[in-house]
Chains A and B, each alone.
Chain A
Amino acid sequence: MGMTMSQKILAKHAGLDSVREGQLIRAKLDMVLGNDITSPVAINEFNKAGFSGVFDKDKISLVMDHFTPNKDIKAATQCKQCRDFAGKYDITNYYDVGDMGIEHALLPEKGLIGPGELCIGADSHTCTYGALGAFSTGVGSTDMAAGMATGEAWFKVPAAIKFNLTGTLGKYVTGKDVILHIIGMIGVDGALYKSMEFTGEGLKSLSIDDRLCIANMAIEAGAKNGIFEVDDITLEYVKGRVNRPFEYFKADDDAVYAQVIDIDLSQVKQTVAFPHLPENTKTVDEITEDVKIDQAVIGSCTNGRISDMRIAAEILKDKHIAKGVRCIVIPGTQSVYMQCIKEGLAEIFVNAGCVFSTPTCGPCLGGHMGILAAGERAISTTNRNFVGRMGHVDSEVYLASPAVAAASAIAGKITGIK
């Protein structure tokens, strides 16, 4: 029986010729990731268990991104704990204020994940790296602690849903619209425990940034991972970034899938997820009522990359956001931030009445840098719109692409762009 892309990567890392759905395996890890929220819990467990060293100081990434620059004394204390741990074990990939970025924007950019590699991260959006043809999945802090100590993790081999992509995306329709469309179709548990495997000639129409955005939100459909078949676009992106040998995999022709879903990208429309679940989607054409907004957030591990900044800037250029709207633009990494300055995007944002922030997860999870009051409403390019996600329990988050968020910030209400 043939294997899926995910199953092949798991088999290789478990030292097995083949694996089958449901099999429990132990596999060797190429990268273990944590951030300033999940790492302190992992470090406590690591110390409590009495481990005396890490398995490989080059294969651990600690990124201070959620509540940084430190939002309060407790956050500062947690970062200090991570910094001390990184110092003690000489962790190569420790990223703090000044060189950090939002973890899932940063790791691909730095070439820390390559095609065919196996990564766990104590952050649910670790599934982002599947965009590069890696098997990458979110875990908890205890798994992270065990991973840092042993370089291994246990996995239950997942079944998969195959997404066969055809066609080409329309103007101002992006990866974000594709993944919101899919989650709207299959629901927030539509891919529970499964891999979402993306393939087909439609891949040609999806940039790496589109793919990173789509894989990023695989977790919002309950998936274990999202993964893209490696092609020339992937190889071009990792060239000069991943400076080590890697082996990537195509699914076998006779691989078995729980479901096969065809998506014609030319039919995907600009899409918005209404509160309080990412599956509550409407295309912009279906929004008939006026949904006024108080805030727009453009950034995050989902949409904080340079193409996101460019499309937002293109729409905001020579315009001004509506009176009464606050628009917060947050590039994902220092390099995206610098690129925004060089290309004149930062100037466009500030002239349009937006704030332009240092990289941080900040408002996405209601941490800092844009918390909502009771009754307030935000359109956001982030990935979750759960109750209280961005602030008060009586606030609302609407998920959309940077193009739709920028257009909505100008209109003062949720709107698409032609």
Chain B
Amino acid sequence: MKAHGIVHKYGDNVDTDVIIPARYLNTADHKELASHCMEDIDKDFVKNVKDGDIMVANMNFGCGSSREHAPIAIKASGISCVIASTFARIFYRNAINIGLAILECDEAAKDIDAGNEVEVDFDTGVITNITKNRTYKAEPFPEFIKDIINKGGLLNSLK
């Protein structure tokens, strides 16, 4: 499995309140949530994002509220993969549980810039920055987590 797209880049401590503000949590509709994704820190994100694009950020991505609406909004906006130096733990868990691909890779997170064209190979963990002609290696998932992802999320893995 691979992801290939243009990068939307953010900094440290991107919290779930800015990924999807609480004022929109009166719905669980995926498309509606996606239509407000990132608007408090990047009001152009929704306008610019294209299917398959990649989100890259630095430390502690997804900190704060446990709202699963946050990875849902990112996934439903068309983002195929989030790469960060580190993830907040509830966001990390939620992303795996709903099948949003995420990778921890400090080197990639630091080097990749907004607008770079990036390809991710999930089988090898290799991230290729086509714009800069560089590659980075992400930590592969533990087997336990691979199993959840391969079965299409947590609930499918319990069946």
Contact of B48 with A by CB under 8 A: no
When distances are taken between beta carbons in the complex, the residues of chain B under 8 Å from A367 are 22-23, 25
Beta-carbon contact of B88 and A222 below 8 Å: yes
Q: Which chain B residue has the least Cβ–Cβ distance from A51?
A: B155
Query: How many angstroms from the CA of A275 to the CA of B67 in the assembled complex?
Result: 21
A37→B63 contact, CB < 8 A: no
Interface positions, chain B 25-69, Cβ under 8 Å from A, are 25-28, 40-41, 59-60, 63-69
Q: Given the complex, which residues of A lie within 8 Å of B158, measured CB to CB?
A: 49, 146, 149-150
A74 to B32, CA, bound (A): 12
Known: A146-B155, A387-B40, A388-B17. Is A38-B86 also a contact (CB below 8 A)?
no
List residues 108-159 of chain B with CB under 8 A from any CB of chain A: 142, 144, 153-156, 158-159
A48 sits at the interface (CB 8 A): yes
* Interface membership of A269, Cβ < 8 A: no
Across the interface, do A123 and B26 meet the contact criterion of CB distance under 8 Å?
Answer: no
Q: A307 at interface (Cβ–Cβ under 8 A)?
A: no
Shortest C-beta distance, A349 to chain B (Å), equals: 26
Cβ of B15 and Cβ of A142 under 8 Å apart? no
Report which of A37, A67, A150, A387 forms a contact with B18, defined as CB distance below 8 A.
Answer: A387
A67 to chain B: which residues have CB within 8 Å? 25-26
Does chain B have a CB within 8 A of A188? Answer: yes
Q: Select one of B18, B66, B144 contacting A122, CB under 8 A.
A: B66
Nearest residue (CB) in A for B153 is A142
Contact A78 B155 (CB under 8 A): no
Does B26 lie within 8 Å of A75, measured CB to CB? yes
- Residue with the highest number of chain B CB atoms closer than 10 Å, among A145, A149, A189: A189
Residues on B with C-beta less than 8 A from A188 are 13, 60, 63
Cβ–Cβ < 8 Å partners of B89 in chain A: 192-193, 222, 224
Whether B93 is near chain A, meaning CB under 8 Å from some CB there, is: yes
What 0/1 readout, one digit per residue, does chain A (148-174) give for beta carbons within 8 Å of chain B?
A: 011000100000000000000000000
Q: Are B64 and A142 in contact (CB under 8 A)?
A: no
List residues of A (375-418) whose CB comes within 8 Å of B's CBs. Answer: 384, 386-389, 393
Which residue of chain B is the closest to A75 with respect to CB atoms?
Answer: B26
- Whether B17 contacts A386 by the Cβ 8 Å rule is yes
A-to-B contact residues, CB < 8 Å: 24, 37-38, 40-41, 44-45, 48-49, 66-67, 71-72, 74-75, 78, 121-124, 126, 138-143, 145-146, 149-150, 154, 188-189, 192-193, 219, 222, 224, 277, 365-367, 384, 386-389, 393
Known: A24-B144, A143-B97, A388-B21. 15 other contacts (CB 8 A): A40-B28, A41-B68, A49-B155, A71-B26, A75-B26, A78-B26, A121-B66, A126-B66, A140-B68, A222-B60, A222-B88, A366-B21, A384-B64, A387-B18, A387-B40
